[in-house]
Amino acid sequence: MPEKTLQPEAQKTGAENPSGFWTLQRIVIAASGVLIGIPLLVFVIGVLLATGAEQTASWVQAVRDVFIMTMVLEVMLIVISLAVLIMQIARLANLIKNETQPIFEDAQDAASAAKGTVRFVGDAVIEPIIKIGAFLAGVRVLIRELAGIRRAIRHTPQEEREHAGE
């Protein structure tokens, strides 16, 4: 069984330690190279253009032709990409329409089933409970009133005796 050795943080390469790849020193070196390379490139192009008019003209014409061909290829690629994009958007719209319609219909079916269930529960369960509750409330009021009349009858003779005794 081979032993695994742990590498210290300082021995890791740039691929193993991606955050250490772009250090300040590397950024400064890259920026310096770009700042020195651009003027040098402009100088070399200027020297080439100044050497011979006929040679420079043919060179510029070749560069122009390559640039035009590159632009034509890019335009063709953009047109093809736009056509593919339009086709994909049309397919997506069709997919959304065809997928959401059944979901919408299922939601409507579920809502109507829930509505029917609520109506059934209301008619079969809740309505009888409400009627029983109303009946019991009426009975309670009747008993309360009867008890009140009985108390009123009972208290009246006692009150008369108390008033008569005074």
**Is residue 1 assigned to a domain?**
no
Looking at per-residue pLDDT, the higher value among 37 and 60 belongs to 37
Residues 82 and 138 in one domain: yes
Predicted TM-score (pTM) of the model is: 0.38
SS3 6: coil
Residues 118 and 46 in one domain: no
- State residue 51's pLDDT score: 75
Least-confidence region, from 30-39, 50-59, 115-124: 50-59
Residues 60 and 38 in one domain: no
Number of continuous H segments (helices) and E segments (strands) in the chain: 3, 0
**Is residue 8 assigned to a domain?**
no
Residues 121 and 78 in one domain: yes
- State residue 85's pLDDT score: 96
Residues 41 and 97 in one domain: no
In the chain, the number of structural domains is 2
Residues 62 and 47 in one domain: no
- State residue 1's pLDDT score: 47
- Name residue, tokens 């003779």: 157
Tokens of 30: 């890259």
Residues 44 and 60 in one domain: no
- State residue 14's pLDDT score: 47
Please state, as a whole number, how many other Cβ atoms lie within 10 Å of the Cβ of residue 131.
10
**Is residue 16 assigned to a domain?**
no
Cα four-point dihedral sign 121, 127, 132, 134 = positive
**Is residue 60 assigned to a domain?**
yes
pLDDT band for 135, please (50, 70, 90 cuts).
very high
- pLDDT tens digits for range 85-95: 999 999 999 99
Residues 115 and 79 in one domain: yes
Rounded-to-integer distance, Cα 104 and Cα 93, Å:
16
Element (H, E) at 90: helix 53-121
Region of 29 on the Ramachandran plot (φ > 0 left; ψ -120 to 50 alpha; else beta)? alpha
**Is residue 62 assigned to a domain?**
yes
**Structural domain containing residue 44:** 22-51
What residue type is assigned to position 80 of the chain?
Answer: I
Residues 65 and 44 in one domain: no
pLDDT band for 159, please (50, 70, 90 cuts).
low
